[in-house]
Chain A
Amino acid sequence: MVGGKQDALAAFEELYQAHGARLKSLACNLLGNVADAEDAVQDAFLKAYRGWGGFKGGASPSTWLYRILVNSCYDAGRRRKRRREDASCQAPLELRPAAGRDHPLRLTLEAALERLGERQRTVFLLAEVEGFTHREIASILEIAEGTSKHDLFAAKRELRRELRGTRLASRSEAEA
């Protein structure tokens, strides 16, 4: 890569083209709304641009970018919690699930995910929604691969428990 400043910008634009959609989706699922998600993605790119010298070989710049994004989302979530803002997960009108993938369980699952711990929720989103491997997740979250597998298993077990409760409640209502 040659040519200076324009190329540094071009490299980050390439990262945006390749990963922007997934970064937005992950941020939206972690923060619950489009505006905060876009702010977090923008923030992640700026932090990456400012401190890219700090990232080590062995992880790709994109993995590093996801790590910065996840941390930005955690920070934003904590700030919001401190401000006692309404963390409503109501999707705005323009937001839609990925084409052809709407599912009746989606809303129940979203609500159940809200109740998971921070890391289990992130591992579930990265693995089951965004399709990352455990190796990639381990690199993004700086945890062991085994921890990623364990968190995913624990998250699914908790989600099963939540969904079971929801189904039992629905049945009771129907019977009444």
Chain B
Amino acid sequence: MREATCADLEAALAGEDAELAEVFSRHARSCAACGEELALAEAITAAAPSLRKEWPSPGLEQRIRAGLRAEGARKRRLAIASWATLAAAAGLTIALVARALFVPPAPTAPAAEQLSIPAIDDGRERLLTEQAAAEVDKAEQAYVRSIDSLSKLAEPRLTQSRSELVANYREKLLLIDSAIAECHSQIDRNRFYAHLRLELLSLYREKQRTLDSLLKEDPNAL
């Protein structure tokens, strides 16, 4: 029959070997020093839950909600500023390209005139922007279709598994879908919003990565 000695104290308290813990417990009944150590360990375990703190904080949830709303507003303001910068840069690029393509050089013109950028027809600029937006729409639709196919492949794992790992994936995908929906609602208000298009693309990429990762998980681990 297995027996324990004072030398087994630390190993027994580590809790990795249930049989040793039981044998050591018998030893501790006849050894005052080990008995005291065991009692201390048990007292710590028993007292630990009493360290849990609870207090009412009715204002905290409101503070967090207000903070998140303010953060959302800040993000939108930043996005507007970024869009304005992007639009200005795009306008300048269009103007420079149009000048290079359509305006013949005027060798006799004074230097000051050579530096001036000719006015661009508003209709042409809008048309170019709409064409770009239409191409983005088309590419996005194709991307969404491929992600939908991935989602269908992943669906059995997401719906049938009760494992903690799959629950994590489900929770993350819900958050991503929520952010995609938020992004779409902002894009609906202005489809030429380049910054939001980039944000949406990064969200779709994140969803794709998450679905890829789920599909690569070992089925035995799910």
Contacts and interface: CB of A to CB of B under 8 A. Distances in A.
A5 B169 CA distance: 21
B63 A42 contact: yes
Given A5-B182, A105-B43, A157 B53 contact: no
Nearest to A46: B67
Given A46-B67, A57-B210, A109-B48, A24 B53 contact: yes
B215 to A, nearest CB: 11
Interface string A30-68: 000010011001100110011011010111111100000
A156 interface: yes
B60 A42 contact: yes
A37 B63 CA distance: 14
B181 A98 contact: no
A160 interface: yes
Contacts of B46: 103, 105
B220 interface: no
A152 B169 CA distance: 29
B122 to A, nearest CB: 32
15 contacts: A7-B182, A9-B68, A9-B69, A16-B64, A21-B54, A28-B53, A38-B63, A42-B67, A58-B213, A94-B55, A98-B52, A101-B49, A102-B50, A105-B50, A156-B13
Nearest to B167: A60
Interface residues of B, number: 57
A4 B179 CA distance: 7
Contacts of B175: 1, 8, 11, 52, 61
Contacts of A53: 179, 202-203, 206
Interface string B198-217: 00001100100110011000
Contacts of A55: 172
A174 interface: no
A157 B44 CA distance: 10
